[in-house]
Structure 1
Amino acid sequence: MKVIVLFVFVLGALSAAGEEFFVKVGGKVTLNCGVNSYRRSVQWSHGNDFLHSVDQRGFTRKGTVDLARRSLVRQTNLEISSVTETDAGNFKCLVDGTRHEHSLSVVSVWVNSSSVLKLNDEATLQCEVKGQPQSCEVKWKSPNTDSPTNPSKVQLKPVTTSHNGAWECIVTCGSNKFSESLTITVQEPTTTTTTTKSPSKPNGKSSNNDASPRLLGLAWWVWVAIGVGCLVAILLMVCVIVLCMRVRRRKKRFLKMKGQQRPRHKKYCQCDHPTAAAKPKQGRRREKPSALPLHPA
């Protein structure tokens, strides 16, 4: 009986330990639940935050936290994209009532100044692991060495040409190992070449014939541009004046033609002669006397 209880305890401890996952900031990671299928449901949570659940009918539920919006469940695994440092920590996968716990560590590397450095500058390289499990070792490997010998924080005082290249931060947790690189570029100072000046003439002007002639401190092409601009402005003014004169001439012509087309009132001449006398009214016509009868002689 004790052997069975001890065996169950060992299995529970292994299940609680789970698997350790590593990812860089901004990367993508897939957390394996530990089983490939389920009969009733599968559920993922991050600490005390609920993320996703899927039942046998395909019905899904999603949490309200930011990590739930950046993750999804594929079969029984959890895929997380655009990883941030806050995503580090413990994850729990519950499949058909069986719990599987895992841990996620987020690795970030940076330099306190720009990754492009100059000789004799000072810089600090840092490698930080969020959610780092216990008994893990973090070291830097420089470009000129084959094994990591520097601590998680490296001081470059001063910066030399040997610091140029790809630095690698290596995180070792037991048999698990994860690395993230950071490229440092060391710029050497540019050598300035001194140009020999031609001897100056007694009047103080140099004998350089390549210099363009200047008038009132301006180059020739500036004066050409000014002249062209003035010419264009004059042409525009002339065009505007001519156009205004033509419009005014047409307006006068139109008004003149309109005045000629107006109807004129007829004027009748008044004569000085007296008016003709009115005709007398005609009365009844007098009947002619009938002719006398002719008597025989």
Structure 2
Amino acid sequence: MKTIVCFWFVLGALSASGKVLVTKPGQKAILECGVNTFTKQLEWYHEKDLLHRVSHRGFPSKGKGEIVTNSKVKQTKLEIVLVKKEYAGKFICIADENRQEHTLLVASVSVKASPSTELQLGSEAELDCQVEGLDQGSTATWKRPDGSLHSGILKSVDHSDEGDWECTFPSGGETYSQILAIKVKGPTPVPADPTLSQGTTCVDCVTHPPSVTAFLLGLSWWVWVAVGAGCLVVVLLLVFVIILCKRIKKKQGKFQAMKNGRQPLKPKKYCKCDSPAAAAKPQQKRRREKPSALPPQPLLML
């Protein structure tokens, strides 16, 4: 008889232990009461504070606080729309005589480095894992991508630090985790010389890379020779065209000059001066000449 009583007591304790729900700030969380219906009333508590109470007739009543405005009851489930760190802790659901207790853990993982989770090779960084709602004495620990434990403080970032870091924390006899992806940036490698793959060796390629003019734009030498020859041909054509135009103009000038020489001469135009005319010379007095003898007249015939 005592064995049966102990069995039912342990079974009731397990059913009342509830679940552990892990979420992040800003996400949605849904807590189940453990029953689908109730006959008298349904109550949800956060620690000792009343959140929601619903009677069997459907008349709801609410408590006070920010978490009340950010949560609502759907049938028997409690839905938190926007989770905050302050909401972490114990949530208790009482439906008639059934009691269900849940634990909400709000985990936040981040890396403290500049500029972001893409760490520079050789820089310093610190991984931060904060979990609200853990039991007293429980702490979070970091695991490297290879699975080994780590304090989360990186004094000199290496390529081996790249990957998924796992923040683990215990609650209710189980272990939970959150993943933080880390990327490591290193110096840009020097591209290999394509000419070296043809059997040649280069000793100082790293310390003394080839000049930019030798491989400008990545084109081969024969391409640049063809471009230079084309430019030379264009220049010679321009010079030929200029000389030809000058000769044509010169011939046109000679032809015009010959054409103008064949035209009839025009009377010369003298310049009319506006200066006053010279004074007329005085006329000399002419000598009186003796009148010439009259010509002989013919004799009249009677």
Interval containing the TM-score (normalised by the shorter chain): 0.5 to 0.7
Identity of matched residues, %: 42
Answer yes or no: is 1:116 the counterpart of 2:115. no
User: Matches of 2:13 and 2:95 in 1, distance apart?
Assistant: 17
**2:169 corresponding residue in structure 1:** 171
Task: Please give the root-mean-square deviation of Cα atoms over the aligned residues, in Å.
Answer: 3.3
1:158 to 156, 159, 162: 156
Cα-to-partner distance string for 1:113-133 (whole Å, 9 max, x where unaligned): 232221111111122221113
The alpha-carbon distance between structure 1 residues 60 and 117, as it changes in their structure 2 partners (threshold 3 A), is: same
Where does residue 213 of structure 1 map in the other structure? none
Deviation at 1:20, TM superposition (A): 2.1
CA–CA distance in 1 between the matches of 2:139 and 2:47?
Answer: 24
Distance of aligned partners of 1:17 and 1:195 in 2 relative to their CA distance in 1, 3 Å threshold: same
Structure 2 equivalent of residue 50 of structure 1: 50
Could you tell me how far apart the structure 2 residues matched to 1:86 and 1:195 are?
A: 62
Q: CA deviation at 1:25?
A: 2.4
Per the alignment, residue 132 of structure 1 pairs with: 134
Which residue of structure 2 aligns with residue 24 of structure 1? 24
Q: Aligned partners of 1:174 and 1:65: how far apart in 2?
A: 27
Tell me which amino acid in the other structure corresponds to 1:117: L
Q: Give 1:13 shift.
A: 4.1
Q: How many residues align?
A: 194
Q: Which amino acid aligns with 2:141?
A: K
Write the letter of the residue equivalent to 2:178: E
Tell me the distance in 1 between the aligned counterparts of 2:33 and 2:188. Answer: 56
**How is 1:1-297 mapped onto 2 (pairs within 5 angstroms)?**
10=10, 13-14=13-14, 17-113=17-113, 114-133=116-135, 138-143=140-145, 145=146, 147=147, 149-151=148-150, 153-173=151-171, 176-190=174-188
Structure 1: runs of 5+ lacking an equivalent: 198-297
How far does residue 88 in structure 1 lie from its aligned partner after superposition? 1.0
Structure 1 residues 174 and 99 mapped into 2: Cα distance closer, same or farther (>3 Å)?
Answer: closer
Structure 2, gaps ≥5 residues long: 191-208, 214-302
Q: CA distance change for structure 1 residues 134 and 17 in 2, over 3 Å: closer, same or farther?
A: farther
1:170 to partner: Cα distance: 3.0
Once residues 38 and 169 of structure 2 are traced to their aligned partners in structure 1, the CA distance between those partners, rounded to angstroms, is 34
1:245-273 deviation digits (Å, cap 9, x = unpaired): xxxxxxxxxxxxxxxxxxxxxxxxxxxxx
- Distance (whole Å) between structure 2 residues aligned to residue 182 and residue 195 of structure 1: 43
1:127 counterpart letter in structure 2: C
**Cα distance change, pair 89–174 in 1 and its aligned pair in 2 (3 A):** closer
Which structure: larger Rg?
A: 2
Mapped partners of 1:5, 1:187: distance in 2: 63
Residues 76 and 110 of structure 1, relative CA distance in 2, 3 Å threshold: same
Output one character per residue of 1:109-156: Cα deviation in whole Å (capped at 9) or x when no partner.
Answer: 11122322211111111222211136867433333x1x3x325x4111
